[in-house]
Amino acid sequence: MRAHEAGALHGDIGSRPPWLRPPGEVNALVPQLWPRNVTRAADGALAVAGLGVRDLAAEYGTPVYVLDEDDLRSRCREFRAAFPDADVYYAGKAFLCRAVVRMIAEEGMFLDVCTGGELATALSAGMPPERIGFHGNNKSVAELGRALDAGVGRIILDSFAEIDRLTALARARGVRPRVLIRVTVGVEAHTHEFIATAHEDQKFGFSLAGGAAAAAAFQVIDEDVLELRGLHSHIGSQIFDANGFEVSARRVLGLQAQIRDARGVELPELDLGGGFGIAYTTQDDPASPPDLAKRLRKIVDGECAAEQLAVPHLSIEPGRAIVGPAVFTLYEVGTVKDVDGIRTYVSVDGGMSDNIRTALYDASYSATMANRASTAEPMLARVVGKHCESGDIVVKDEFLPADVQPGDLVAVPGTGAYCRSMASNYNHVPRPPVVAVRDGRARLVVRRETEEDLLALDVG
């Protein structure tokens, strides 16, 4: 069912999701929803890595994205430990800035980028180019040329036009870049329609069922300019069920066997993509990295045995699963409005310009009072933004203390992925800053935009 064009749950009244229950303790934090170093201090306010959110708000203003740096780093280490013989690429589209590039590089990660801007950010932060994979369904000649000149480690081919384009560029430069073929395997993950990226009717990759994927591989092998290392499959986002990966691996390894039989080439690599889910609310139950590793390796080992293939070197691409839980957004309440006993709207000083996912994907989030504890009864509320849209919703339904009032701080967890990276200047609202906190100290890693920034682009 399509969402109303004015936004998620436009006109919906007097209901709440069945899984949302009044909390026994309105001040309690649900651990799986929050960065690992977030606590509620003795004075009732939230603190991250020992630093109180009231101090953060006073210094950096609101809204502000707050990154728990040790949480992000620990998730990098957990994925690397779970996949010791694989290349673990951080999917930069989830959120990228130079500080995050340096963090993931220091933790031994690889990096997946999908535009020239992301590539520029990675290179400017010192990411070793051989540890970068370059995605994208419409890479320009300039972008491909820059990737070749930088020595990017893997370029993921997405169309016949791109094969021709990259082949010409590589031949002219006398280089032999390592490439993967992105295969659409006809698996639709259990996810929102717009982020299910592996069914056939979509813009990414080469169709397996129609024979385009095999033809692409044969072309690269026969022209012998690009070095075909393997195949790539990505089946969606916010995935909790491994069944889709099982079907995907079976089909893509079947293609690998077909390539072996037709050209005598056994490709040494396989990239299973990412899309691993996180907990946005208590209804979400994501798998741990060790559990993911166990299930994916069992799938690949079994399919390789069935096809009599050597087990390829694996790659995976977690993005949301690393940065998503490591960040929360801190807002200040501006108005609290009860609408005829139907619903209480808690308006904050951000909204769809800093988190479009609720309006775009009908995504669910949680929230809590952040600046103090409360003894008031829980009240079902909707946290909304300041934009001129009825669908400007941050949290569709949440129990907040009934005494929430203007000036209070509200924190929304799980906002590390696809919030700052998809942020906009709708209604000419400047985008919020990103502040990293570690060991009781905060540092600005992305500064707040200003009205001067907006006006500087307006040359009229």
Options 97, 304, 388, 419, the catalytic residue: 388
Nearest to 270 by CA among 185, 212, 188: 185
Q: How far apart are CA 290 and CA 312, in angstroms?
A: 19
User: CA-based angle 401:404:410, to the nearest 5?
Assistant: 90
Q: How far apart are CA 150 and CA 142, in angstroms?
A: 12
Q: Provide the 3-class DSSP secondary structure of residue 65.
A: strand
Residue 278 CA from chain centroid, whole number: 10
Q: How far apart are CA 151 and CA 129, in angstroms?
A: 6
* Range list of H helices, 68-190: 69-82, 98-106, 116-124, 141-150, 160-173
Q: How many CB atoms are located within 10 Å of the residue 27 CB? A: 16
Q: How far apart are CA 269 and CA 253, in angstroms?
A: 11
- Is 388 annotated as catalytic? yes
- For residues 68 and 48, is the Cβ–Cβ distance under 8 A? yes
Calculate the alpha carbon distances from 434 to 96, 98, 238, 321, 423 in Å.
11, 12, 23, 18, 12
Q: How far apart are CA 381 and CA 346, in angstroms?
A: 7
Q: Which residues are catalytic?
A: 388
